[in-house]
Structure 1
Amino acid sequence: MKLKFAFALCAAFELVCGSVAAVAKDVPEKPELHIAAASVGITYLPMLVAQQRGYFKDEGLDVHIAAFSGGSKTLEALLGGSSDIVAGAYSNTITMATKGQHLVVIAAQVICPGWIFGVSQKRQAEVKSARDLKGMRIGVSAPGSSTHMALNYILHKAGLQPSDVSVIGVGQAAGAVAAVRAGQIDALIVNDPSATILTKDGSLIPLENMRTAEGNVKVFGSDYPESSLFATQDFINKYPKTVQAVANAIVRAEKWIAKATPEQVADNVPPEYLVDNKALYADAFRNSRRCIAQNGEITAKGAQTVRDVLSAFDPTVASAKIDLTATYDNRFVEKAAGIQP
């Protein structure tokens, strides 16, 4: 009887130990992490939710998020060494590849950019399409940012040159809202919640809606991946466990967002990023919800779409030999696929 009990006890102990081992996480090589964010709009929700709900901490990470006015500034922070990872546009990995910098996406936050491109109410009578924007002032998050690149493509399709308009960096948050309302710009490309704030009160009249499947097909020909988390290849090689921990937290956040109500999402965003109020933020989330990724992957089709868009107006990208498969690495999010919120 004692022998049978001993065997049973050993079996139970082995089962428990096996379960513990199965869920045990690797310890990140670099627990303190600095992320430079090109925006804190709704297309960056996975990162914000992962921070607010403690998913980064659960992975053993102490994450510090620094918000910048646009992607060009985050690249400066990354290459200058003050940040470890960028939360910014996937397109940066392609444009930087033409300059000899190897940046790699480790987790996508969206499958589409969630932008509204619109004209100010004051210019509504003059502007019916992008071809009417010649000579006008157009707001982007920052010169050289992904919003600037998208604007260049929209102008290109309309038969205009980038030099036909004046580009003004206004950010994607309060600065963008204020610039439109004050009449400092004539048109704007912006993500939510600012897009919803401005369209809801009539300050911005949409010309293009890149939050819907139809809108993305109209502008880009397909869904256009944008907001992602990326790092240098050297960082990924040096800190693979840290990178995996980040991917785990982001995928977990995306799965939580996929099941959450708009009100629950608004409740899980840091107060300083709500812009106006929770109810309005919930509305903005409804408008951009389909853009939020659910598995953190960049698809080959999405990558090619971005390359094609950039090549249309940027001869450097058009002529460059770029291995698109080297600009993103889905292995980390694929490994994180089994993690539940």
Structure 2
Amino acid sequence: MHKRSRYGWLLAAALIAALLAGCGGGSKEAAKVKVGEVTRSLFYAPLYVALSQGFFADEGLQVDLQTTAGGDKTMTALLSGGIDIALVGSETSIYVYQQGADDPVINFAQLTQTDGTFLVAREKKESFDWDDLRGSVFLGQRKGGMPQMAGEFTLRKHGIDPHEDLELIQNVDFANIPAAFASGTGEYVQLFEPQASIFEKEGKGYVLASFGVESGRLPYTVFMAKRSYIEKNKEIVQRFTNAVTKAQRWVEDHPAGEIADAVLEFFQGTDRDIAVRVIERYKAQQSYAVGGVIDEEEWNNLLDIMEQAGEITERTPREAIVDNTFAEQALR
């Protein structure tokens, strides 16, 4: 081979190799993100859509999803570094901030915009009035958690003092509330889906009202991370938010049956008809946010509910622990 031709061939080979490496031909490894969800629920359908439809993968992310049952456990996992991103109620970030944290938790993408619980009665009622709860035994959610606060807010809205006008039970662990009601505790219970619809199908309980409709829009479940993590991983947080936003739009544009088929792999043993009913119920009351921006009105409603529940003594400004720039960019 001619010397110049041989060198030209080697140069071309080197250029091709460099181009392949630069274009990802070397199969660049996806960035790993550990995410903790406060519970496994069809209320979080857009999260599972982002996983099943490959939206996280499209953004070059490998998401390790784990269920960290309860807001307190989820926040502990986040603060200790057990997870990178938490999906939990915004009230937990307020508690951390008001304790004077050096590295506060920042809300960066809202997933749901209403409470996700329903009032379930043990006995079927032809007609329902909130006054029916007076003097009853009510199995509520954990004290200080957003479900319980939204529940109390709704009761007060209808003229019922939750601590004076009924027997309120709050000492049952979050994960055990459905089992406690099924075993005979309480005449009424505040439940997430799909448990409420499962009880209806089994004849163990009957949905009477939605706490989400009654308590209005608020940043109910939000993706959040420590400020230090966000500052070091802005590109990852942006890509994560992009995937979530794409999933939210997908859920908005697809019927409940298609959404159920996309997420049922995360709910082994759940009846498809139940899943469709649950998703229809959440879509009808607009529980799924379309875009992760937390607006001022929603934030103030959250603070009103927490203030009325006696869980805060001062109002945390939205700008202190909310960063909407990632969600705004994702929408653009």
Q: Specify the TM-score bucket, using the shorter chain as the normaliser.
A: 0.7 to 0.9
The change in CA–CA distance for 1:166 and 1:178 in structure 2 (over 3 A counts) is closer
Matched, 1:295 2:296: no
Whichever residue aligns with residue 236 of structure 1, its letter is I
Can you list the C-alpha shifts for 1:261-295, whole angstroms capped at 9, x where unaligned?
21111111152425521122011100111211111
Q: Contact conserved, 1:118 with 1:187, CA < 8 A, in 2? A: yes
CA RMSD of aligned residues (A): 3.0
Distance in 2 (alpha carbons) for counterparts of 1:135 and 1:99: 36
Q: Which runs of 5+ in 1 are unaligned?
A: 1-20, 22-26
Name the residue aligned to 2:63: 63
Can you list the C-alpha shifts for 1:38-73, whole angstroms capped at 9, x where unaligned?
122122112111112221122121111111322121
**Superposition map of 1:278-293 within 5 A:** 278-289=272-283, 290-293=286-289
Can you list the C-alpha shifts for 1:3-30, whole angstroms capped at 9, x where unaligned?
xxxxxxxxxxxxxxxxxx9xxxxx99x9
Distance in 2 (alpha carbons) for counterparts of 1:244 and 1:130: 47
SS of the equivalent of 1:291 reads coil
**Shift in Å at residue 187 of structure 1?**
2.7
Whichever residue aligns with residue 45 of structure 1, its letter is A
Q: Contact conserved, 1:193 with 1:275, CA < 8 A, in 2? A: no
Q: Contact conserved, 1:128 with 1:207, CA < 8 A, in 2? A: no
Q: Contact conserved, 2:71 with 2:145, CA < 8 A, in 1? A: yes
Matched, 1:112 2:114: yes
Name the residue aligned to 1:271: 265
Distance in 2 (alpha carbons) for counterparts of 1:336 and 1:137: 42
Distance in 1 (alpha carbons) for counterparts of 2:322 and 2:278: 29
Name the residue aligned to 1:182: 183
Whichever residue aligns with residue 32 of structure 2, its letter is E
Work out which of the two has the higher radius of gyration on C-alpha atoms and give 1 or 2: 2
Q: 301, 311, 326: which is aligned to 2:307?
A: 311
**Shift in Å at residue 107 of structure 1?**
0.9
The change in CA–CA distance for 1:143 and 1:64 in structure 2 (over 3 A counts) is farther
The change in CA–CA distance for 1:325 and 1:144 in structure 2 (over 3 A counts) is same
Name the residue aligned to 2:205: 204
Name the residue aligned to 2:9: none
Q: Contact conserved, 1:131 with 1:159, CA < 8 A, in 2? A: no
- TM-score, scaled relative to structure 1: 0.77
Taking every aligned residue pair, what percent have the same amino acid on both sides?
Answer: 21
Name the residue aligned to 2:137: 136
Name the residue aligned to 2:322: 328
Matched, 1:192 2:188: no
Whichever residue aligns with residue 53 of structure 1, its letter is Q
**Superposition map of 1:77-92 within 5 A:** 77-92=77-92
Q: Contact conserved, 1:110 with 1:227, CA < 8 A, in 2? A: yes
The change in CA–CA distance for 1:208 and 1:225 in structure 2 (over 3 A counts) is farther
**Shift in Å at residue 207 of structure 1?**
4.6
The change in CA–CA distance for 1:190 and 1:237 in structure 2 (over 3 A counts) is same
**Superposition map of 1:214-293 within 5 A:** 215-216=213-214, 220=215, 222-273=216-267, 276-289=270-283, 290-293=286-289
Q: Contact conserved, 1:41 with 1:192, CA < 8 A, in 2? A: yes
Whichever residue aligns with residue 46 of structure 1, its letter is P
SS of the equivalent of 2:263 reads coil
The change in CA–CA distance for 1:326 and 1:121 in structure 2 (over 3 A counts) is same
Is the deviation greater in 322-331 or in 195-204? 195-204
Whichever residue aligns with residue 196 of structure 1, its letter is S
Name the residue aligned to 1:34: 34
Distance in 1 (alpha carbons) for counterparts of 2:129 and 2:68: 32
Is the deviation greater in 196-205 or in 112-121? 196-205
